[in-house]
Chains A and B, each alone.
Chain A
Amino acid sequence: ETGVTQTPRHLVMGMTNKKSLKCEQHLGHNAMYWYKQSAKKPLELMFVYSLEERVENNSVPSRFSPECPNSSHLFLHLHTLQPEDSALYLCASSRAVPTAGTGDEKLFFGSGTQLSVL
């Protein structure tokens, strides 16, 4: 148990559906992240939030829409996805967004949502 909970664990959706992924952290962290894991590719950062403000949108298509209503919750809203968006989506948190002086901020991950887009 890492203190980061993701739901659902598995999701199958059609290209015209709208769905949301949810992440909750119970660690008192100020930074939250969405990562994408595609087969045989490294973990790819999608979004970073620091104290509910988006720090980075890493050139992610607009069909992915993040929301961070407070520092404990993070959502990823999905709409009109493509089959190539099928992947494992991981949420993570850390005490703070790492900077040049704080690169030792460990990431705490959820178990991920395995998404299949048909």
Chain B
Amino acid sequence: ILNVEQSPQSLHVQEGDSTNFTCSFPSSNFYALHWYRWETAKSPEALFVMTLNGDEKKKGRISATLNTKEGYSYLYIKGSQPEDSATYLCAFFPGTYKYIFGTGTRLKVLA
């Protein structure tokens, strides 16, 4: 059974703080790793799709790194803002049409 773990489960930070979370996935049969952002009462939206070991992606204040050999990805948020409050999901793709999701990290940014 393929397992994707995300940590921490939840996180409260002050506005302006930088933060990061982890997604751990099997290091074998790696094809892609997705990050999604899910705001309450809205749809999950794709942030990044990462396919190569050592990939780094950036979108504004949010960035992600990927280490396929050891099976982890980090998501970083620089200078957190209240609008960054959301659940961040990662999804591992092992090459067979099915994405394996983690349970997410719930981020709350306090003004």
Contacts and interface: CB of A to CB of B under 8 A. Distances in A.
Interface of A: 2, 4, 40-45, 48, 55-56, 58, 90, 97-100, 103-104, 106-112
Contact of B89 (A43, A98, A99): A43
A100 B31 contact: yes
**Chain A binding surface SS class:** loop
Query: Which has the most chain A C-beta neighbours within 10 Å: B34, B42, B43, B104?
Result: B43
Interface string B67-111: 000000000000000000000010101011111111110000000
Interface stretch (B14-22, B45-53, B58-66): B45-53
Given A56-B98, A98-B97, A104-B51, A111 B103 contact: no
Interface residues on B, range: 20 to 34
Given A2-B43, A43-B89, A106-B46, A100 B95 contact: yes
B51 A103 contact: yes
Contacts, number: 65
B51 A42 contact: no
Given A100-B95, A103-B93, A106-B49, A43 B101 contact: yes
Contact of B102 (A42, A44, A98, A100): A42
B41 A98 contact: no
Contacts of A106: 34, 46, 49
Given A100-B95, A104-B32, A40 B46 contact: no
Contacts of A45: 98-99
A107 B19 CA distance: 25
B44 interface: yes
A75 B50 CA distance: 31
Given A41-B103, A42-B4, A110 B97 contact: no
